[in-house]
Amino acid sequence: MNDQNDPGAGTNGAHDPDGAAGEARPKTRAEERIEALDTSASALMEQLVEWQARAEASEAEVETIRTQWQRTAADFANYKRRTEEDRFRELGQASEALLRKVLGVADDLGRALEHVPADQAESPWAEGVAAIERKLASVLESEGVTPIEALDAMFDPRLHEAVSMAPLADVAEGTVIQELQRGYLSRDRVLRPALVVVATAPATTD
């Protein structure tokens, strides 16, 4: 029997796909990393402690960020509220300034009607002025503007401005006896105080 032509001679019929028999296969990076891992109990405990410390640090950082966000949100809400209040206050001041100018026109119309000659009281122009005054009063009322009660009322420094004092014996001291200019309220705010003359006790003589 001739063994020289037998392809399996000397190998017992085995084939090594990686090359010569007994040659070690190179390790992959994953295998090298696995072998490098320290899986002892002490190493695992150290790793666990490190991870726990990192987790606690992360939680503290998240809490700090949450607190800063809440503070920023509160500051923004306060800023927005103050901005809205300032805007409404400015609008209110502008509205009141305009209403005061309108009150000046109402004063002029009232004085014009007070000085209408008796023979012209029924004239078309006098009736026209009266109609304008009524319309203006209606507009002011629709805007929440109402007159301040002054005549015969007790003097109130929040509503009245005393221009002069008049000593009177038969009138209670502090009574408004004359209204020189009508005052007005804009809802619950004094738009213009009433200019008044107030009674005072007469001087006594010994």
Report the C-alpha gap between 194 and 189 in whole angstroms.
Answer: 13
pTM over 0.75: no
Query: Model confidence at 187, in pLDDT bands (50, 70, 90)?
Result: confident
The pLDDT assigned to 158 comes to: 94
Q: Which residues pair with 173 in a beta bridge?
A: none
pLDDT tens column, 98-123: 888 889 888 888 888 888 888 887 88
How many Cβ atoms from other residues are within 10 Å of residue 178's Cβ? Answer: 14
CATH class, 145-206 region = mainly beta
Residue 35: alpha-carbon gap to chain centroid:
64
Listed by start position, the domains of the chain span 42-143, 145-206
In this structure, the strands spanning 176-181 and 194-200 are antiparallel
